[in-house]
Structure 1
Amino acid sequence: MTLWLTRLVPDTRSPEARRDLGDPVGMHRRIMSLFPSDAGPDPRARFGVLFRTEDTPTGPHLLLQSAHEPDTGRLPAGYGTTLTRPLDALIDAIRPGLTVRYRCAASPVRKPGATTRALYNLPPVVPLTGTAADEWWLRQADQSGLKPLTHHAQPLDTVRGERRPAAGTPQRIRHARTQFDGTAAIIDTGLLRAAILGGIGRGKSYGCGLLSIAPARQPQ
């Protein structure tokens, strides 16, 4: 199976691009429109679609990873520029002991039990920040076959939106996000491949969970 990475640079002169950048549900729909529509009840999982929006000096860029090559010709005229390439060489290079750089914009949370929620009047899902988010990431990294050597956490804007299912009441979407960057040693190639393919944490339909790695530069 080939894994694909697409870099999409939206043109902010495009009304459709501006609208999608401000609407996580709209961006999800736009991305999924690049894939076949007959994929069953969960096409995002079927095609392994994960994405992340990054702020750059030239404006927002979108990284899209998928197990099916996206048809970027389905984007509206003037939406932006795209470049798609396979990640086979990177995946094949994964081996125990290799030091890599990583990045993951994730939604760190904890889910208190019913007794704890009642005692402290907590919601079912509690967003984590600061040291608690760092500890969450270190657990996730370990479960993903990585031993972090360095890590830096940067809070990001919370993803907010409203999903309107075909039937039923609208559903509010809210995912607090933190971007984790650093270096790590690979300790389990199977776990790491699974984390790259499946993503980490919640909010995968709305720009959370994509784990990106690259070989770390060796000191001269």
Structure 2
Amino acid sequence: MSVWLTRIVPDPRSREARRDLTGTAAGNLHRRLMSLFPDEAGPDPRARFGVLFRVEDTPTGPHLLLQSTHQPDLARLPADYGASLSRTLDDLLGALKPGLTLRYRCAASPVRKPGATTRALYNLPAVVPLTGAHADAWWIRQADGAGLQPLTLHSQPLDAARATRPKTAGTTAGIRHARTRFDGTATITDADLLRRKITDGIGRGKAYGCGLLSIAPARGTA
């Protein structure tokens, strides 16, 4: 199974690209990116095609990173949407081995799910977003479960991923995933587990721009 990484550089003159990046952008982008894959893909096409994405802020404007286990059909993008290019990550993933030091980045939604007793006692919601040191501790646990031992960690709060979804009788419900971006270096402890987590994603909100774990060789190791 190949894993594809696609970079899309939206053209700010494109009306549809601007719409996808404003308002409830996470939902807009989810629909746009899923349109690049075959129709009639079953009840969970995102999972079937391993679709994960992240918006990267760059000096020239936002770029979209799309990862998938099926090559996207970039011809399905509107003609004026922007520049795009796909390549496989097979060589990078095949070269992973324990002891190798990597750079990583992941924009994820760190949360805690209190038990029913704790929720009732402190009047907490079912899912509590984590920030600061609590978010960092969450990431350390996630990295360990992904076959990585973090060496350095820098975390940065991001705007929440927002979307809407149909509810009942023509109404909609809001979706909100608090996000933190985690950057740093780490040593691989389990290469097979890391490959699986890269493909599966990390945490909640994968349909809305959360959970894409990107890696690259650290300087001096490639």
TM-score (norm 2): 0.96
Structure 1 match to 2:4: 4
Structure 1 match to 2:193: 191
Structure 2 match to 1:58: 60
Which range moves more in the overlay, 21-30 or 38-47? 21-30
**1:30-63 C-alpha deviation (Å, 9 max, x unpaired):** 0000000111000000000000001000000000
**1:89-146 C-alpha deviation (Å, 9 max, x unpaired):** 0010100000000000000000001111111111100000000000000000000000
Structure 1 match to 2:93: 91
Return the alpha-carbon distance in structure 1 between the equivalents of residues 95 and 108 of structure 2: 24
Question: What secondary structure sits across from 2:31 in the alignment?
Answer: helix
Structure 2 match to 1:177: 179
Structure 2 match to 1:216: 218
Return the alpha-carbon distance in structure 2 between the equivalents of residues 71 and 45 of structure 1: 17
Aligned-pair CA distance for 1:182? 0.3
Aligned-pair CA distance for 1:161? 2.1
Structure 2 match to 1:142: 144
Aligned-pair CA distance for 1:167? 7.4
- Flag structure 2 segments of 5+ consecutive residues without an equivalent: none
Aligned-pair CA distance for 1:168? 7.3
Choose the corresponding residue for 1:78, options 77, 80, 101.
80
Which range moves more in the overlay, 44-53 or 189-198? 189-198
State how 1:22-41 maps to structure 2 within 5 Å: 22=22, 23-41=25-43
Question: Structure 1 pair 10/98, CA: closer, same or farther in 2 (3 Å)?
Answer: same
Return the alpha-carbon distance in structure 2 between the equivalents of residues 85 and 165 of structure 1: 38
Return the alpha-carbon distance in structure 1 between the equivalents of residues 41 and 51 of structure 2: 12
- Flag structure 1 segments of 5+ consecutive residues without an equivalent: none
2:96 is equivalent to residue 131 of structure 1: no
Return the alpha-carbon distance in structure 1 between the equivalents of residues 14 and 106 of structure 2: 28
Return the alpha-carbon distance in structure 1 between the equivalents of residues 212 and 126 of structure 2: 24
**1:151-182 C-alpha deviation (Å, 9 max, x unpaired):** 10011011122112697752211000000000
Question: What secondary structure sits across from 2:185 in the alignment?
Answer: strand
Structure 1 match to 2:16: 16
Question: Structure 1 pair 71/170, CA: closer, same or farther in 2 (3 Å)?
Answer: same
Return the alpha-carbon distance in structure 1 between the equivalents of residues 39 and 126 of structure 2: 33
Question: Structure 1 pair 193/168, CA: closer, same or farther in 2 (3 Å)?
Answer: farther
Question: What secondary structure sits across from 2:186 in the alignment?
Answer: strand
Cα RMSD of the aligned pairs, angstroms, is 1.3
Return the alpha-carbon distance in structure 1 between the equivalents of residues 179 and 14 of structure 2: 26
Question: What secondary structure sits across from 2:67 in the alignment?
Answer: strand
Aligned-pair CA distance for 1:26? 1.2
2:162 and 2:208 in contact (8 A); partners too: no
Q: Could you tell me which amino acid in structure 1 is paired with residue 5 of structure 2?
A: L
Structure 2 match to 1:160: 162
